[in-house]
A and B are shown apart, each in its own frame.
Chain A
Amino acid sequence: MAYTPQLLELMKKVEETRPSRVGVNFPRMSQEERRDVLEKFHPDYIEDGFRKIKVGVDKGTRLPTEMADVFESWSRLRDVDLDLNAPPDYDVDVLIIGGGGAGASAALDAHAAGADVLIATKLRFGDANTMMAQGGIQAADKENDTPAIHYLDVMGGGRLENVPELARALVMDAPLVIKWLEDMGTMFDKKEDGTMITIHGGGTSRKRMHAARDYTGAEIMRTLRDEVINKGLTVIEFSPAVEVILDNEGRAAGAVLYNLETEQYQIARAKTVIIATGGSGRLHYRGFPTSNHYGATADGLVMGYRAGAKTIYADSIQYHPTGGAYPPQLLGLLVTEKTRGLGATPLNINGEQFVYHLETRDVESSAIIRECAERGLGVPLPTGITAVWLDSPLIELTHGEGTVERQLPAMMRQFQRFDVDIRKVPMLIYPTLHYQNGGLLIDENGHSSVENLYVAGEAAGGIHGTNRLMGNSLLDIIVFGRRAGRDAAAKSKDMPVPEKLNLDHLASYHRELEETGAADDRIGPILLPHYTHR
């Protein structure tokens, strides 16, 4: 058992109160209560974590300090001599930067539309937050549900700040995406007769969360990846793009790739470019641990922004309410929302529930932070931080023995590896940095504010307003990956081979940095987080 004697002593409170909590629903907050807890405790509202960016197309916009740092940085190509108009190393219709779920979806649909496609990715193909998404994917494909009802949940959850056309595209494509994935052999959880098994997620008004056990993202990613390889599409691994190349009319026309292993630069010329580089959790805003993949360092945001792409809600960050807090090896690790979907509830040091277990993520996280910070009712851990309990044993008391193993095999295994049996003992959790709600602004075809430059997946913004609901991210990467892939393929048919490739936008960006002194000696995108010698 990984818990210390002190923790085991505290755990008795949870066991004492458990019988009285079975089957009892804690009341949901009113809208006023929600607003209050958000404004006082959500990190997005804590002003000293932000600053206004001094350079670029959104000059004066508020960004998290750590994101502003990577935006206000010198290009890696500042002192590099490249002949952009020599015969390029790669020459394609559609260049996709990033090999996660959005990139793979874009590649498949661009290829299906007849385009010549190249995927360049920083790590391995499939190394992405997609792979780690556990809980599910939303789609209104039940008789009591419609895309319109889904739309209302998306907009309400996003505080009505979503771009309506993007939210519309998200929910209308959702059933089509599930069918597309199913036709490729993705194994969703189903009943014998083929009916999808769906449950609630935070902020949903219908049970529309589809899952593949708790490996939903992994199951989707490995299927997409397999299909991309089956189609014979070119994928270059360990070769992140470091800058977008423009043509003489300021349109995206390719990217400079950097081979992480040989440390050489290569030129990929393309008629259209899709940024699908994912999120930025590895920037560790406000020092939070993160549930994100090693590669989530905002590369695409930095490149796209320098090329002139506008951002939206880049200062809106999602803290997942249930990150692992103890044992220390699990710090920041995602405890899937499905755990609460199945009935596990957060509890304070007295074994009392203090918030409804399926509030939207922003509200749930803020309530947990409040319980620890203001009320002082968190559980003190030997590592010096505080946490709250997540009463996972409630799951089998409600749904019967075997539920955890069947529905949460990944979760069970991860905790078991460090000697915690979540069927028997409650977990210790605290919010973890999980998702970038905003990003580069797109339209409903994934097109950014720079011509021929598309953005899909977590790097894109506007779809979820300032708070995304569970299960809408796996959905969004595929919806907008496919839309961007199709539109980029169509666009490239009408485009001549780009001419006069240049990086002039870097020169003017650098001039602004010099004038403002904003960059110090920082270089971006950072590509890899630096954890050495901590």
Chain B
Amino acid sequence: MKFEYPAGDNPIDRLEVVGRPSDRLDGPLKVAGQARYAYEQHEVAPNQLYGVAVGAAVGYGRILDIDTRQASSAPGVEAVITGRSAGQLDIGDFYVASALAVDQVEHYHQAVAVVVAGSLEQAREGAARVRVRYDRQPGAFVLKDAVFAAEAPETSPDIDIGDFARGFADSPVRVDEIYETPDQSHAMMEPHATVATWSGNRLILWTSIQIVSWGLRDLAKIFAIPQEDIRIVSPYIGGGFGGKATVLSDAVLAAVAARHCGRPVKLALERHLQVNNTTHRPATRQRVRLGADRDGRLQAIGHETWSGNLPGGAAERSTIPTTSLYAGAHRMMRTRVGRLDLPEGNAMRAPGEAPGLMALEIAMDELAERLELDPVELRLRNDTPVDPTSGKRFGTRRFAECLRTGAERFGWHKRGTRPGLVVDGDDFVGLGVAAAIRGNNVTNSAARVRLRRDGSLLVETDMTDIGTGSYTIIGQTAAEMLGLGLDRVEVRLGDSSFPRASGSLGQRGANSSTSGTYAACQMLREKLCAAAGADPARADFADGQLIDRGRRVALRDLAADGEIVAEDGIEFDPARGGLAHQTFGAHFCEARVDRITGEVRVTRMLAVCAAGRILNPKTARSQVIGAMTMGLGAALMESLAVDPRLGLFVNHDLASYEVPVHADILEQEVIFLDHLDEHSSPMKAQGVSELGISGVAAAVANAIYNACGARVRSYPVTIEKILPHLPLA
């Protein structure tokens, strides 16, 4: 089904099931421990062996020799496989680091061998006995140095509109600052894990992956086998945040080991390997220049960003939000990537927007201060109905309403107009605001629906649920379309034998995959009408019945002779109606800073999100408060520490890479400006999950500044960066 816009009226608009705060369909399974994650797939392939990856001990260098003799003779060890014995392995299309080093170690903890044994303990013991000699080589580990040879990636062309240099020079009020964001880890709960087995030339993987079809594509390339010979099953994913976009070393090593041993192999990356073996959000240095007239109207916006990566690796595109967020005639954006021999930087929750807004939205706070203008008002004055870079109209843009609603609900008027004005007990109290913007993108998605003989419905699609609620909203969509209760719908996800959907990445999964389900259900409705002799233009589906001009036919009766199956997908026009598609929001934060010790407590957070129709306010809220929590982590604590002598992220476990805990979160509120986006999809929805993190960290940093006057431009805003700004007595 091609999506024709505007969407017009359709059965989803009834909102009998969609739009309601249904509990997760998979919730009971998860709380009862019955949802089987990849590593728990014990019975799917009998006679499993256990694999353990050996991570490289140097940040960069050559492998001189791997002595596997002691490992091979360890009790229970079946095989010790190195890059030389694994057979030819390519890389996929998304990640650039090799899953298994052959001669050259590209980064710390890159796998140099995999040990396979009859038990996990035996495999670990074997792995500890692998002796590797390295020629440690000087690598590039310092972003500040890498920027000098940084290059412009093809994916991020320079943007020059108007005459930035002149516009900036002519602006009476200016900000020109450097901001730094650190390397961050996804730190998802479930480690990367896979069970792999071969049946002849066919490879089957039970794994934890966000986009099943990318996994097929990349495994086919890595192993030089046809995609048709691969099956991926990934029904439950314990968090990904971009770190499981496609297959990583766990999948490749498990498949290599299973091929080598002729038996199924189970392999999970040990926790201490996750940080350096897999990917992370790369650190950035950003220069933001803002020039405004005395009324606060931006004349010139300059945003340059530098990040580092392995050769061929992607740039962190921090300027993306700046292209579309504020008006301003003179614009200059630059994205540069230099070489670093640290682990690969890649997608993490709102890549581009999250680090970009961490910089831009502090700069806006600084500009507001220089203008002596309220930060909310400054943002309102630079609202624009047209994307200032592409010149396209926005499909929807309710940014101003987000700001106004949030200011009203949050008590923004209580904000001190200067730092240090509001004191309560031992604390300075400050309020901060930041804009949120995140692309509303879509991907063609398909589904198969089966009306079963008992009148229940089964939905099958390779869409994944990474903890987001996909099962539930897909079920709600199908229930709405066929006039069934949610309890009459079963949803099966994450299997490559099902029709291809968007997968979960870039906050496009919910809108895309439910639209694919919509398309399949629309086809099923037509089939059912044909079977019942009803007019599809007039027929209604309600209460488990097809209703046509007063005639009611139970769906169960239509399927009495056998299930009725329909498969279709949604196809989006790449031009998307000639409109700019973005989601908007505003984040508000209240922070308390101890006047003597500089300890920070974030006491209140509010997100106002304009993200189209909210398909399920409960799961959407969970997404947003989770993202706000991650944004708070980015603001206050999350940072991978680089040791530039050794070339690694030193704090590679969850004791030393701190993410927020319950005690850090006091009060979070989410307001959805529920509205319809007729140009986005038949669901009239947009993405929301990554909007929830975009801007949060800057709102926290701005609140800290408003509280105590500590303007920190290098995240995270830890205590030692605040202390120099506090009064001594």
A and B co-occur in one complex: no
